[in-house]
Amino acid sequence: MLYLHQLEVAEAYRRQGIGRALLDAFIRAGARSGATKMFLTTGETNAAARALYDSMGGGLAEQGPTVSYWFLLNP
């Protein structure tokens, strides 16, 4: 299992696909290493991050002050 603790793109470089590319590279590297799931947590009001995770197939785990996502990885 992978756990992504923090992913942040400098404000001047946001909305250019960098976060998506970083997340995709992390997922692929984990899957190549044998991981089958990934877990991360973000703030409930972090709409940009939540939109990214939703668009990449993340499954919402629970609501609250933080929002958790599970990803199933395909090697």
Q: pTM of the entire structure?
A: 0.74
The predicted-structure confidence for 26-63, as pLDDT tens digits, reads as follows: 999 999 999 998 888 888 888 999 999 999 998 877 65
Q: What domains are defined for the chain?
A: 2-6+13-72 (3.40.630.30)
Nearest Cα residue to 42 out of 17, 19, 72, 21: 19
Q: Walk across the sheet containing 37-43 and list its strands.
A: 2-4, 37-43, 66-72, 59-62
The predicted-structure confidence for 8-27, as pLDDT tens digits, reads as follows: 999 999 999 999 999 999 99
What pLDDT does residue 69 have? 76
